[in-house]
């Protein structure tokens, strides 16, 4: 028993040491419109029963249109740069494989994040995918081990002739929580297993009525590719969210059972109870209604960040004068009021690098509060919070300190409230790891050093506003026995409820059924796999 345990331990240690020390090559690609366009055309045919938003024009879009890369379409870019000798019989490659005798490979699940608001754009720019094996875990008894290989992929744009060392510093980070300059961060959990025993293969032959090639792999038919199921899930959810002006920020998913070619599948989703459209349960059902894929998606409204991006871009591009954007009480409260000045001072970022960082912090912490804070569990709660802190900022920074732009104060209010909800956690500010409670203070010190005490004092009004909200809604009612007077008005709740999907068993769903032999066999999801694969080459993995 001691010898067996030592052998098992040494296997896990050896595989962990060997795989995590591999320096996988960077994969470069150019973000042209063709691959995404062809995938879109394919999905349009597969998702013919889905909403019209999924339909795509057949003409190839120009790179001058600079359209954004849809969620999941990164999988058709950055093909592995390997030679034929590095391809394995199942079409995968040796980059992630632990080697013999673990020849069976399963895609167990993963996590996908879209952390940058200015996401990947199909404008022909050069981009990179950096892959790393984060962890290796060996489970199971000796002789029947399963090797879980956890991979992280970070995708971002690069400059022509940029040094690889510079690219790694910008995009790759030692900590998974650090984002860097990555536009897409994908984590994959791959499971490698030993070949099936002769007894297991005999059982498969007795139960599966199909060709020998499939039986020898232990499946009743050809499998639906793992990246395709993820892309289907993201495409249907993204199309549904577009109607409510929301975007996918993150999805975590698990592949629970195999999906097979020529069998129907159904993509389903519903908003999580109490979270409105902010958190979605999504899943895929197999032919008998069994659960095949299950996931949770976090979404965020694109309104505030998009407005800030649009207004700031117009201003710094010289297309919009700043005199129409600043806070000016005399121009607001007059016979013909310029009421937009109540909003525009919160939507103008700083110049140059501040333009990127302001949008990033607004998106990250605003979205985190709306989707993850227990304070905002009902429709309209987050709107009430933003309205309250914005009003306090306007009264203090605007009327008392005579400031005219409040974007940084609003961002610091978001950060302060996030810090109160996540006490004890660590946060990154520039290159420093610090307790999240000190993050608002660090941002104020940064402003004090770079912009002076007046800017720091104005921005500190964001902390004042957020603390007032925390005191009046949590501290005083909980510890002082008082009443919470800042509640979401009924008409606000009704408005947001009217624009939130109802909590039904299936908020949306699309079924896909194979085309029968009598119908046009060259079209349809099922018939597209009718050509014998034995006539093809070994193939390559997608993504």
Same domain, 330 and 386: yes
CA atoms in the 13 A half-sphere facing the CB of 24: 24
Residue 211 has pLDDT above 80, yes or no: no
Question: Which tokens belong to 515?
Answer: 């085309």
Same domain, 285 and 367: no
Instruction: Note the pLDDT tens digit of each residue in 70-125.
Output: 899 999 999 988 888 888 877 788 899 998 888 888 889 999 998 754 467 788 88
Mean pLDDT of 399-415: 93
270-291: b (≥16 Cβ within 10 Å) or e: bbbeebbbbbbbbbbbbeeeee
Same domain, 50 and 152: yes
Residue 515 in any domain: the answer is no
Q: What is the pLDDT of residue 292?
A: 93
Residue 161 has pLDDT above 60, yes or no: yes
Residue 209 has pLDDT above 70, yes or no: no
Mean pLDDT of 498-507: 44
487-516: b (≥16 Cβ within 10 Å) or e: ebeeebbeebeeebbeeeeebbbbebebbe
Mean pLDDT of 235-260: 86
Instruction: Note the pLDDT tens digit of each residue in 431-479.
Output: 788 888 999 999 999 999 988 999 999 999 999 999 999 999 988 888 8
Q: Which of 391, 427, 431 is nearest to 409 (CA)?
A: 391
Residue 490 has pLDDT above 50, yes or no: yes
Same domain, 291 and 440: no
Burial zone of 480 (CB within 10 Å; 0-12 exposed, 13-18 middle, 19+ buried) = exposed
SS3 content of the chain, % helix, strand, coil (to 5): 45, 20, 40
Instruction: Note the pLDDT tens digit of each residue in 184-203.
Output: 999 999 999 887 666 665 65
Residue 100 in any domain: the answer is yes
Higher pLDDT, 518 or 113: 113
Residue 4 in any domain: the answer is no
Burial zone of 111 (CB within 10 Å; 0-12 exposed, 13-18 middle, 19+ buried) = middle
Residue 365 in any domain: the answer is yes
Q: What is the pLDDT of residue 68?
A: 79
Distance CA 237, CA 247 (A): 9
Q: What is the pLDDT of residue 534?
A: 35
Alpha carbon 268 to its chain centroid, in Å, reads 18
CATH number, position 318:
1.20.1540
Same domain, 186 and 51: yes
Same domain, 244 and 326: no
Residue 53 has pLDDT above 80, yes or no: no
Same domain, 341 and 469: yes
Distance CA 477, CA 137 (A): 47
Q: What is the DSSP string of 132-191?
A: EEEEEEEESSTTS-EEEEEEEEEEEE--TT--HHHHHHHH--SSTT--TT-SEEEEEEEE
Helix/strand/coil (H, E, C) string of 272-291?
CCCCCCCEEEEEEECCCCCE
Residue 364 in any domain: the answer is yes
Same domain, 185 and 280: no
Q: Are 496 and 485 in contact (CB under 8 A)?
A: no
Higher pLDDT, 346 or 301: 346
Q: Are 389 and 465 in contact (CB under 8 A)?
A: yes
The single residue listed with the structure tokens 């103008």 is: 348
Mean pLDDT of 302-323: 82
Element (H, E) at 248: strand 246-255
Q: Which of 394, 415, 379 is nearest to 494 (CA)?
A: 379
From 302, 336, 362, the end of a domain falls on 302
Q: Are 298 and 252 in contact (CB under 8 A)?
A: no
Percent of the chain whose pLDDT exceeds 90 = 33
Residue 539 has pLDDT above 50, yes or no: no
Same domain, 21 and 161: yes
Residue 530 banded pLDDT, cuts 50, 70, 90? very low
Residue 492 has pLDDT above 50, yes or no: yes
Q: What is the pLDDT of residue 377?
A: 66
Same domain, 429 and 443: yes
Same domain, 38 and 59: yes
Percent of the chain whose pLDDT exceeds 70 = 80
The single residue listed with the structure tokens 């400059």 is: 159
Residue 327 banded pLDDT, cuts 50, 70, 90? very high
Max intra-chain CA distance, the chain: 89
From 170, 202, 234, the end of a domain falls on 202
Q: What is the pLDDT of residue 198?
A: 64
Q: How many domains does the chain have?
A: 3
Same domain, 123 and 222: no
The single residue listed with the structure tokens 């390559």 is: 540
Residue 74 in any domain: the answer is yes
From 249, 281, 302, the end of a domain falls on 302
Q: What is the pLDDT of residue 403?
A: 93
Q: What is the pLDDT of residue 478?
A: 82
Residue 493 in any domain: the answer is yes
415 CB-near residues (< 8 Å, 6+ apart) = 361, 365, 439, 440, 443
Distance CA 511, CA 509 (A): 7
CATH number, position 63:
3.10.129.10
On whether the pTM is more than 0.85, the answer is: no
Q: What is the pLDDT of residue 249?
A: 84
Q: What is the pLDDT of residue 207?
A: 56
The radius of gyration of the chain's CA atoms, rounded to the nearest angstrom, is: 26
Residue 516 in any domain: the answer is no
Residue 407 has pLDDT above 90, yes or no: yes
Residue 521 banded pLDDT, cuts 50, 70, 90? very low
Q: Can you tell me whether residue 460 is helix, strand or coil?
A: helix
Q: Which domain holds residue 457?
A: 304-498
Residue 535 has pLDDT above 50, yes or no: no
Q: Are 513 and 264 in contact (CB under 8 A)?
A: yes
The single residue listed with the structure tokens 């500010």 is: 429
Residue 255 banded pLDDT, cuts 50, 70, 90? very high
Higher pLDDT, 5 or 100: 100
């Amino acid at each position: 028993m001691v010898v067996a345990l030592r052998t098992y331990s040494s296997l896990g240690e050896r595989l962990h040491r060997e795989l995590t020390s591999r320096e996988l090559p960077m994969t470069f690609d150019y973000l042209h419109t063709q691959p995404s366009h062809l995938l879109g055309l394919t999905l349009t045919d597969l998702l013919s029963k889905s909403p019209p938003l999924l339909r795509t024009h057949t003409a190839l879009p120009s790179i001058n249109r600079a359209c954004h890369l849809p969620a999941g379409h990164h999988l058709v870019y950055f093909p592995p740069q390997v030679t034929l000798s590095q391809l394995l019989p199942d079409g995968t490659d040796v980059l992630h494989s632990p080697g013999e005798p673990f020849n069976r490979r399963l895609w167990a699940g993963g996590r996908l994040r879209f952390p940058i608001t200015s996401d990947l754009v199909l404008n022909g720019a050069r981009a990179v995918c950096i892959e790393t094996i984060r962890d290796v875990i060996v489970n199971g008894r000796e002789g029947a081990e399963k090797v879980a290989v956890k991979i992280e992929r970070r995708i971002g744009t690069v400059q022509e002739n940029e040094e690889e060392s510079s690219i790694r510093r910008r995009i790759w980070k030692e900590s998974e929580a650090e984002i860097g300059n990555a536009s897409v961060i994908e984590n994959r959990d791959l499971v490698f297993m030993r070949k099936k025993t002769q007894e297991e293969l005999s059982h498969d032959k007795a139960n599966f009525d199909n060709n020998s090639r499939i039986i020898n792999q232990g499946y009743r038919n050809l499998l639906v590719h793992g990246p395709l199921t993820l892309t289907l899930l993201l495409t249907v959810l993204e199309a549904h969210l577009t109607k409510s002006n929301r975007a996918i920020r993150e999805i975590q998913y698990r592949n629970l059972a195999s999906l097979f070619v020529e069998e129907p599948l159904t993509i389903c989703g519903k908003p999580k109870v109490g979270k409105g459209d902010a958190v979605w349960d999504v899943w895929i059902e197999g032919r008998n209604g069994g659960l095949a894929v299950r996931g949770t998606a976090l979404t965020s409204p694109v309104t505030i960040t998009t407005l800030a991006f649009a207004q700031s871009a117009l201003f710094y591009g010289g297309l919009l004068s700043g005199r129409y954007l600043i806070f000016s009480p005399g121009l607001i409260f007059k016979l013909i009021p310029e009421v937009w000045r109540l909003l525009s001072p919160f939507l103008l970022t700083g110049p140059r690098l501040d333009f990127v960082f302001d949008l990033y912090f607004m998106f990250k912490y605003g979205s985190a509060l709306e989707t993850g804070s227990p304070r905002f569990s009902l429709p309209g709660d987050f709107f009430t919070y933003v309205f309250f802190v914005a009003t306090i900022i306007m009264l203090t920074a605007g009327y008392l300190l005579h400031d005219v732009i409040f974007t940084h104060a609003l961002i610091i209010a978001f950060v302060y409230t996030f810090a109160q909800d996540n006490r004890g956690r660590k946060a990154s500010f520039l290159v420093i790891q610090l307790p999240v409670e000190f993050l608002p203070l660090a941002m104020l010190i940064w402003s004090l050093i770079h912009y002076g005490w007046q800017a720091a004092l104005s921005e500190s009004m964001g902390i004042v506003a957020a603390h007032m909200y925390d005191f009046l809604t949590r501290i005083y009612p909980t510890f002082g026995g008082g009443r919470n007077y800042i509640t979401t008005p009924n008409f606000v709740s009704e408005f947001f409820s009217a624009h939130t999907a109802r909590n039904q068993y299936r908020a949306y769903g699309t079924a896909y059924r194979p085309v029968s032999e009598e119908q046009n066999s060259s079209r349809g999801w099922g018939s597209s796999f009718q050509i014998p694969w034995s006539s093809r080459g070994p193939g390559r993995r997608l993504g």
